[in-house]
Structure 1
Amino acid sequence: MAKRAAHRLAAVERSATVALLDRVQQLRATGAALVDLSRGEPDFVTPGEVTEAAVAALRAGRTHYSPSRGLPALREAIAAKLSADNGIVVGAADGVLVTPSAKLALYAALTSLLDPGDEVVIPSPGWVSYAAMVSLAGAAPVPALLDPATGFRITEGVIEAAVTPATRVLLLNSPNNPTGRMTDAAELDAVLTVARRHDLVIISDEIYEHIRYDDRPHLSPAAYFLENTLTVNGFSKSHAMTGWRLGYLAGPADLVSAALKVQEHSVSCAATFTQIAGTTALEDSRPAVEEMLSAYTARRALLVEGLNSLPGVTCARPEGSFYAFPDISGTGVPDGSDFAEWMLDDAGVVMTPGPAFGAGGHAHVRLSFAASENELTQALERMDKALRGR
């Protein structure tokens, strides 16, 4: 049998971040002392009240299937959160789908929307899995190339230039991974203008919504264009619940119901006791979220100041998320992949190469400050020694 895998997989590489994690684990197994700033998850523990809610649910025997749409109590809590925090009004009964991870919510949305030959416009740099998910759905990812010189701002012209008659979806991520940028009012207006002009569906990935700085407002496209917008969010980043695998999709009933079919015929539902914990997270864990944000704010200052003191490195302050995305073009090793490999081999500092996030990231690396201040200080000292020793 000559054909061993689907042809569409030829356009899909392994996840760069997962592959990097594998290499880090291999190096640590040999005794290498690494400082890992590649992590895409909080280094905090899940809030205690959330864990206790899950334990109580387990002891009460809540270990069976839930409705595929999700437990009614959690869907109601999500709908209330969207209305209060985001200005998004959806019905808990038919406008919310609880999923085992925000990643699955994205995949279900794309799979339910796309046919072969369709295209998805993705502002670039963007998260490593966006383009792969589009390809897995049988469609074509089209990057809208953002200019590092403008701070990766989204403009109507940049988005419009990527649109063709085959474009079906426009994917937006704010706060952005990897750049740390947040979409402002002018950028959102540009996105909405193009989406309305071409009748595009917007998928808005808002997983880092609660991690933002300097009182910067979070803007949700669904508050202004609900009929054509699917909002993706979850609990991993805001509540340190990455391993719990809990997210959600919200939007027009017909689009959510289409994504429901993907869930019903794949994973069926999110774990029942995890959903009970998620309800507690939305209703009772705001202080814990704010405590994490306070720590991230201090770490952001430490890392950005330190990066800007390194020879040949410049770094803008991230407006949201827990990532810095410095420009390393002045170091003498201007390619982000080469720079990250050098820092791993010579300094023992793990970072994610900017090119993994697509065009526009070639002269950058991503460093996570979901790490202790001691780890950040160690990483900066090691990088400084390597750069000054060239």
Structure 2
Amino acid sequence: MALADRARSLKQRGYQVVNLAGGDPHFGTPEHVVDAARDALAEGFTHYTSSRGLPELRKAVADLLSLRSGVIRDPDNEVVITPSAKHAVFASLMAVLDPGDEVLIPTPSWVSYGQMVRLAGAQPVSVPLFAADNFTLSRELLEAKVTPRTKAIVLNSPTNPTGRVLSMSELRDIADFSAARDLVVISDEIYEDIVFGDNTHRSPAEYPECVDRTLTVSGFSKSFAMTGWRLGYVSGPQELMNAVLKVQEHSVGEAGSFIQRGGMAALLGNRSPVRHMVEQYDRHRKWAHGELSQVPGIECALPEGAFYLFPDISALGFSDSHACAQWLIDKAGVVVTPGSAFGPGGEGHIRLSLAASTATVEAGVNRLRDALSTPH
């Protein structure tokens, strides 16, 4: 927030500032999705729905889970439509946690997971991953942090901020570990459609050991450029979903009625806009990775999924990642996110988003490359 304030101040003073900090796709929402919501509004479909969500949308979600991962969920009892995937994660944590519980969070991780755990009265426990090992998660690392108070583990694949996609080996370790320790797995799969090359997104719910202990979260923001629509969903075994539903009923109630109609169009309609977006993100990641790899001292893995780069700038002489991000605003007029924001394992890195337009990505990355290539 302090960096965003600094960027706004520079803009007000007439400086050209390029923002590569956000995770909001620059694409417009596909037109057939907009049309479906507009039609719903025109017919007066603007009142309460079931707290679980529209039956037709729940069935579309269940069909998608079955098609993608072979996971069978009853749309009547094991799917809840939520106002954003973010709320789905929050409701899941509120449903399974008691005060004093602990939750394992592999880090670097999205900044809200730990705060959500705290809001539930529980304690987040970071499981730091390491750039030298390409941020690989292992059972050994998990076992080192587990205690008798551990109740759950939060996963995110493809991962924000690192761009990692969990491998079959990592998922096998997670399945064995969560079953042995009787943990709930909350799997945030919001970037599931944004996977590159030979990488494949897989869900821990696909494993027999995990199917009855996993709450799978996803949504529409990233895949369909629907960030402002606030629409997501969570699925899982009925016992856990009954608790999730209670949180939903007594907090937000339900997702917007006409917005859910848009979600139905997204899942059931033409998916070529999604493919087009992913193709552009793929071009962005390859080009940006190549440009930043030219900077002496920068180490940067090629992302496997999502739309971020997470270069290691620790060899460039900055005191920390926040100092680097501040310097880049002042020196290059580019806003990035310091790696320290993403918890242990993130320090020494910066995150830049590739979700902006091609012109914005090119302008920002060119400025970063030139600035970081000069003495500072």
TM-score, with normalisation over the residues of structure 2? 0.97
Indicate whether 1:197 and 2:184 are aligned: no
Q: Aligned pair in 2 of structure 1 residues 293, 54: CA closer, same or farther (>3 Å)?
A: same
Q: How does 1:1-390 map to 2 (within 5 A)?
A: 20-21=3-4, 23-224=6-207, 225-333=210-318, 335-387=320-372, 388-390=374-376
Please list every run of 5 or more consecutive structure 2 residues that lacks an aligned counterpart in the other structure.
none
SS in structure 1 at match of 2:218: strand
In 2, distance between residues paired with 1:234 and 1:162? 30
* TM superposition shift of 1:30: 3.6
Moved more, 284-293 or 119-128: 284-293
In 1, distance between residues paired with 2:270 and 2:241? 27
In 1, distance between residues paired with 2:62 and 2:307? 26
Please list every run of 5 or more consecutive structure 1 residues that lacks an aligned counterpart in the other structure.
1-17
- The letter of the residue matching 2:126 is P
**2:3/2:326 contact within 8 Å kept:** no
**2:291/2:369 contact within 8 Å kept:** no
In 1, distance between residues paired with 2:324 and 2:331? 10
TM-score, with normalisation over the residues of structure 1? 0.93
**2:338/2:351 contact within 8 Å kept:** yes
**1:118/1:139 contact within 8 Å kept:** yes
Q: Aligned pair in 2 of structure 1 residues 75, 25: CA closer, same or farther (>3 Å)?
A: farther
Taking only aligned residues, the RMSD between alpha carbons, in angstroms, comes to 1.2
In 2, distance between residues paired with 1:233 and 1:30? 40
User: Following TM superposition, where does structure 1 have runs of at least 4 consecutive aligned residues deviating by more than 4 angstroms?
Assistant: 18-23
SS in structure 1 at match of 2:144: helix
In 2, distance between residues paired with 1:339 and 1:356? 13
* TM superposition shift of 1:286: 1.2
Q: Aligned pair in 2 of structure 1 residues 22, 280: CA closer, same or farther (>3 Å)?
A: farther
Residue-by-residue CA offset, 1:28-54 (whole Å, 9 max, x unaligned): 334331111111111100000000000
Moved more, 139-148 or 333-342: 333-342
> How many residue pairs are counted as aligned between the two chains?
373
Residue-by-residue CA offset, 1:337-378 (whole Å, 9 max, x unaligned): 111111011110010000000001101000101122222222
**1:328/1:334 contact within 8 Å kept:** no
